[in-house]
Chains A and B, each alone.
Chain A
Amino acid sequence: MRAPPSSYEMLVSFADGELDTHDRELLLTLLDLDSELNREVWELRKLKDMVDISYQEIPAVPVQTTRHQDKRNWCWQSAMALSVAALTFAFYLLVSHADTLSQRVWGSTPELAETRILLHLTRYDTALIENLLDEVEFLLQANLTAERPIRIEVVANGSGLDLLRVGHTHFAERIRRLHMDYGNVTFAACRNTIERLQRETGVLTELLPEAVIVNSGVVEAIQRQKQGWAYIDV
Chain B
Amino acid sequence: MNIVCRICRTWILRQRIQAQQAQLERVVFAWSHDAILARRLVQAATETVVRDLDLFREGERLRIALYRTLLASFRQYQRDYREVLSFAPEEKMSAARKPMVRKVRQAFAQLDEIPRLIVSLADLGGCSYKEIECVLDISRAELLEHLCNARVQLKSMLFSPMARPQTISGQMLWSIK
In terms of DSSP, what is the predominant structure of the interface of chain A? helix
Q: Which residue in B72, B101, B128 is a CB contact (below 8 Å) of A54?
A: B101
A211 to B65 alpha-carbon distance, docked (Å): 13
Q: Specify which chain A residues have a CB less than 8 angstroms from the CB of B73 in the assembled complex.
A: 212
Q: Specify which chain B residues have a CB less than 8 angstroms from the CB of A43 in the assembled complex.
A: 155, 159, 164
* Structural contact, B154 and A53, CB atoms closer than 8 A: no
B-contacting 9-mer, from A9-17, A99-107, A124-132: A9-17
CB-CB nearest in chain A for B82: A183
* Structural contact, B36 and A9, CB atoms closer than 8 A: no
In terms of DSSP, what is the predominant structure of the interface of chain B? helix
* Structural contact, B147 and A12, CB atoms closer than 8 A: yes
Say if the beta carbon of A52 comes within 8 Å of chain B.
Answer: yes
Q: Specify which chain B residues have a CB less than 8 angstroms from the CB of A12 in the assembled complex.
A: 144, 147-148, 151
* Structural contact, A16 and B122, CB atoms closer than 8 A: yes
* Structural contact, A39 and B151, CB atoms closer than 8 A: no
A136 to B74 alpha-carbon distance, docked (Å): 23
A208 to B108 alpha-carbon distance, docked (Å): 28
A195-234 Cβ-contact flags toward B at 8 Å (1 or 0): 0001000001100110111000000000000000000000
Residues 97-155 of B contacting A (Cβ, < 8 Å): 100-101, 104-105, 108, 119-120, 122-124, 128-129, 135-137, 144, 147-148, 151-152, 154-155
* Structural contact, A39 and B122, CB atoms closer than 8 A: no
- A interface residues (Cβ-Cβ under 8 A, vs B): 8-9, 12-13, 16, 18, 32, 35, 38-39, 41-44, 46-48, 50-56, 58-61, 151, 176, 183-184, 186, 194, 198, 204-205, 208-209, 211-213
- B interface residues (Cβ-Cβ under 8 A, vs A): 25-26, 29-30, 35-36, 38-39, 48, 52, 54-55, 68, 71-73, 75-76, 78-79, 82, 95-96, 100-101, 104-105, 108, 119-120, 122-124, 128-129, 135-137, 144, 147-148, 151-152, 154-155, 158-159, 164-165, 172, 175-177
Q: Could you list 7 A-B pairs, sorted by A, with CB under 8 Å?
A: A35-B172, A54-B100, A55-B29, A55-B120, A58-B38, A184-B79, A186-B79
